[in-house]
Amino acid sequence: MARWQPDAPRRLAASALDLFEENGYENTTVIEIAERAGLTKSTFFRHFPDKREVLFGGGTVAGLLTEGIASAPPAAGPLDAVADALDALGRTFFTADRRAFSRRRQAVLNAHTELREREALKRIDLTASMIEALDRRGVPSLSARVAAQLGTLVWELAFDRWIDIDNSEDFGPLARQALAEVRATGAARQ
């Protein structure tokens, strides 16, 4: 019964999203999510502290972003290091097979204040992860914070376009394009 389920978090997230769409976030219980995924309530709680967390699959994204920044070429400037990390994220996480899920997930998040709050804090934590990773590259503290703020904006622009139903471009190129736009507008005129 309690055997190891390596794909449990993903299955639980998929079931949760189905149920939130069908019955609403408020009307869905953890037990229903677990049952729909063919798992138990205790398996759910091994992976997530509560229902609110089920659509925020752990630290995967923060880890990928941190690694991506760390492995950027030594000569890369802070915002280029962030762009490299977004590229890496596009290759390994925001992949084509996750696009439909991400779109549906975002619609559910946008519709619920308590999920928007959780997302907002996750975003701040991600920005903090970027700043730390840039610090470890020796980027001065304030430059790191500026790059992380602009990197977060690049992420948002790229993500919004990536989940847009009319878009078929991959996440990495969308991030590169958004970065170029932000640079063209922001850097010179502020």
Binding site for its own copies (CB under 8 A): 77-79, 113, 116-118, 120-121, 123-124, 140, 142-143, 145-147, 149-150, 152-153, 157, 181-183, 185-190
Residue 13 has a CB neighbour count (10 Å cut-off) of 21
Based on CB atoms, which residue is closest to its own copies, 22 or 164?
164
Q: How far is the CB of 118 from its own copies (least distance, A)?
A: 6
Based on CB atoms, which residue is closest to its own copies, 29 or 149?
149
Q: How far is the CB of 64 from its own copies (least distance, A)?
A: 21
Q: How far is the CB of 87 from its own copies (least distance, A)?
A: 17
Name 175's Cβ contacts closer than 8 Å, sequence gap at least 6: 83, 86, 87, 89, 90, 154, 155, 158
Based on CB atoms, which residue is closest to its own copies, 168 or 190?
190
Based on CB atoms, which residue is closest to its own copies, 38 or 186?
186
What's the DSSP call for residue 27? T
Nearest to 109 by CA among 53, 39, 64: 53
Gap between the Cα atoms of 71 and 133, Å rounded: 10
Name 112's Cβ contacts closer than 8 Å, sequence gap at least 6: 25
Q: How far is the CB of 28 from its own copies (least distance, A)?
A: 20
Helix-strand-coil percent breakdown of the chain, rounded to 5? 75, 0, 25
CA 94: distance to chain centroid? Answer: 8
Q: How far is the CB of 74 from its own copies (least distance, A)?
A: 16
